[in-house]
Each structure stands twice: as structure tokens, then as C-alpha cells.
Amino acid sequence: MKRRGWARLVVPGLLILAGTAGVLAAQEAKTAARPEWNGEELEFFYQNTYDNSSQPAILYKPAGIEKVAKAPLLIKLHYMSGDRFTVRRQGYYQEADKRLWYVLSPELHGKNTPGGRTSWASLEAQHDVIDALETVLRNTPNIDRRRIYLAGRSMGGTLALLMAAKYPDRFAAVVAGQPVTDYESYYRTSVFIRKSPVKEVFLKEMGGEPKEVPFEYRRRSSFSYARNLACLPVTIWAGVEDSVVPREQVELLHREMSIYNPYQPPVNWLVGAPHNAGNYNAAWVCDHLQYYENIAENEMKRLPYRYYRSLDLRTDESKPFFYLNPVLAREDDLGEMRSSIKDGKLAVVTRNLKELTIDLYQAAGLPADRAAAAAIVSRYEVRSDRSLKFIMLYDGQPLREESVVNLKSGEIPWGGEDPGLRNNRIKQ
């Protein structure tokens, strides 16, 4: 392999596939020897920030893409038994050549099973996606951060939906095919899982049955975060005769999504289709992504994400969402936060959070100054199911910190910084 700075070029015909089944290895070696694409396939390793492991990924660069001022990036997530090289057999490189898109394919590793073939939307695999993305963004300056897309089918579609739900401010759109959306009901009803050799591996990866580790099943299921999916465009497709991931999985999520987003498009059903990779091709997937941008209107275009004055979100991790930054109280339960600005009042409701920070500059839509912000929101009311530290910022600068027990309300101190916070910051 030839070095290309932070990555190395995969040279057709010289690729060594360690630990891959014989037939699949032969197919991929044949593909590598006779590539049908025009660009470069770069392999790189990055550090997974969740478990500090070193993980591999592939970035495809079409010929001439460096001359494009801003090029979209498609993150293609592989199915069960796939790996980082699976994408090369699915037509995405050829589509990338036509459209001048980058294609990123991280290898998705599991919590309790080795390699990337049976990760089933683990936290480790989730951070594979984010950390591989961050590595590519640091080293590829002409990626259009407004047009970062997600796509996958089966296990890859499951993770694509979950990543869109957990990082709705990072992605422009997602296309997910044949996804598991609720692992608890999937385990209970799936013949594929319960009556095949896959069951043993599945239970090992999950850490047990749903009754033994219920939160593990919940946190890996996009159904748990259906409300979050109202924040970005979601396209779902499925086969009506799919016996591996029954159509009820998609129906379950779609019904829940429609509660929070009345404009959610219908499922793209393939009548008579089983569970196989040849249903919707790469061109169809890219066509359904290409027009979306992660961007707000007018002056709010300066935000790095779409703008919503009201948010209703769930999380299983302490991490930022848009202008909200929650910290979970209990790590074995989901946290919830609802925030809205209406009639001059900021209303916040939380569950299972011990801390929540809100940047009012962003929440109010980037007002020209504090006087303009005060005209939009002057009061606050916070409700919490437990003791909560509630911190208000203005463009990153502290305004007020409150200790909330059940209910707290008051005036937002737009005149200046809260003295207690100023003193605390000086002490630090």
C-alpha cells in the first residue's frame, strides 16, 4: 500500500484481506484486481473515543474531487458480516465518480463480539462512525459539512437510523433500508434470530436477553429516539416479504415518527421483496439524499445545523444536541429534554438529567445583540424530575446558573453576567 499522508492507498491486486471468509475474500480480491471506478480508495486508522481502540475505515476519493470547492460526503454503513470494503461491491464508488462525492465506510465493531461483522448498533460502532468522520473532516478540507449523508441496509440501516436520531444536528439526511428499529420486539418475534445459529452471537453481543439487559436493547433501538428523527429528513425502505427483518419493524418506527413529524414521508415498500442487497441500488439512494442540506434560513445560516426554536429529544449519552448540552443523572436510563421559546418565555422540561446547558444566543435564532435577544425571550421556566443544574449561556458566555428542584422560574438577566458565575469562573 502506498502512503498518502494520514491514509494509505489501497493498490488494486495487492490488498490482503485478513480473517475474511474464503468466498468473500475471493470476490473482493477479484473486484480489487479489476476496479470499475476511477478514483482512489484510501485506508486509514483512527482512535475510537469510546473505548480508545484503533479502528480501520475506507475513504473513497473520486478523480478530480480536490478541484471541487465543496463536495458532499456519504457515510455508507455495512450490513451484518460485512466490513469496510463491502461498499466497493455496491456501486457507490461509481455513483461517487458521477456526482463527485466522497464515500466513507468505517468498519463497525461490537461491544462483546470481535471484528465488525456483528456489531448491531453498539455504542462502539456509533463512535466508529463519528470518530471516522471527524478524522476525515480534519484531513479533507473541501468536504461540504452541510451535505454529510448517512445510508445503510439491514445492520447498516439500523445504525444509520440510530446515528441520525442521536446526532440529528450533524447530518443532512439519511436513507435506511430494512432496519431493525426495536431490538426487544425483534428478538421476541424474529425467527431469524431465535431459531438460527445467529442467536448465540446475538446474545453474546447484547450481553443477554432483553429481560436481563433491557437498557442495552433500548439504547440500540431507533424506536427509543423516534422523536429526534423529526429534526432531519429520513427515507426508509423495506421488503414486504422480508423474513430476516420483518416489515413490522419499519411499521412500528414509522407510526412513532409520524406522531412527532406529521410530514414524515411514507415507507418505500418493495412488494414481494425478501431480505437481499439488490433491492434499491446506489443511484436510488443517492438520488434521495442529494438535495438535502443541513442549513438554516437567512441570518441563521451561520449556525452549523438546522434551526428549531422548539426541541424534543431523548439521549442515552451525555452529549450536545443543537444548542442543548445535557448530562445524564443515571447512565442506565434514557434522558429527556424539551425546550421551546414562545411568547417571550423559555420553557424547559427534563427527565433523568442532572445538568442542562442552553445557549440562548443560538436558541433565540442569533439575535443582533442582547437587547434583541431580550425582546425574543425574557423569562424562563424549568421543570425537572430531580435536582438539576440549569445553566444559561449567551454565545458561550455565562448568564445564569440555577439549581432546580421540580420547578424554577424567573427573569433572564440580560443586563450582564451573573456575579456568582463570574466569581466561580475566576476561581477556576
* 123 vs 321: CA distance, rounded Å: 17
**173 in Cβ contact with 234 (< 8 Å):** yes
* 159 vs 386: CA distance, rounded Å: 32
Domain limits of the chain?
Answer: 2-294, 305-427
Binning the chain into helix, strand and coil, the percentages to the nearest 5 are 30, 30, 40
Half-sphere exposure of 72 (CA within 13 A, CB side): 25
Which residues of 128-233 form beta strands (DSSP E)?
143-153, 173-177
**231 in Cβ contact with 173 (< 8 Å):** no
pLDDT recorded at residue 5 = 72
| Torsions phi, psi for 105 (to 5 deg) | -135, 95
331 Cβ contact partners less than 8 Å away, ≥ 6 residues apart: none
* 428 vs 103: CA distance, rounded Å: 43
pLDDT recorded at residue 31 = 41
What are residue 98's DSSP bridge partners?
A: none
**336 in Cβ contact with 313 (< 8 Å):** yes
**391 in Cβ contact with 355 (< 8 Å):** yes
- Whole-structure pTM value: 0.91
Amino acid occupying residue 197 = P
**93 in Cβ contact with 32 (< 8 Å):** no
pLDDT tens across the length of the chain (428 residues): 455 678 888 855 333 333 333 333 333 434 444 468 999 999 999 999 999 999 999 999 999 999 999 999 999 999 999 999 999 999 999 999 999 999 999 999 999 987 779 999 999 999 999 999 999 999 999 999 999 999 999 999 999 999 999 999 999 999 999 999 999 999 999 989 888 889 999 999 999 999 999 999 999 999 999 999 999 999 999 999 999 999 999 999 999 999 999 999 999 999 999 997 567 999 999 999 999 999 999 889 999 999 999 999 999 999 999 999 999 999 999 999 999 999 999 999 999 999 999 999 999 999 999 999 999 999 999 999 999 999 999 999 999 999 999 999 999 999 755 444 444 333 33
pLDDT recorded at residue 298 = 86
**380 in Cβ contact with 342 (< 8 Å):** no
* 346 vs 310: CA distance, rounded Å: 10
What burial class does residue 260 get, using C-beta atoms within 10 Å of its C-beta: 0-12 exposed, 13-18 middle, 19+ buried?
A: middle
280 to each of 92, 218, 269, 317, how far by Cα in Å?
Answer: 12, 28, 10, 33
* 64 vs 68: CA distance, rounded Å: 8
pLDDT recorded at residue 416 = 57
Question: Taking the alpha carbons of 105, 109, 115, 120 in that order, is the dihedral positive or negative?
Answer: negative
pLDDT recorded at residue 29 = 38
Q: Which residue's entry shows cell 456509533?
A: 126
Q: Distance between alpha carbon 240 and the CA centroid of its chain, in Å?
A: 26
* 179 vs 248: CA distance, rounded Å: 10
For residue 249, give the nearest of 237, 262, 258 by alpha carbon: 237
Structural element, H or E, at residue 253: helix 248-260
What are residue 324's DSSP bridge partners?
A: 321, 358
2-294: CATH topology is Rossmann fold (3.40.50)
* 259 vs 227: CA distance, rounded Å: 8
| Coil, strand or helix at 42 | strand
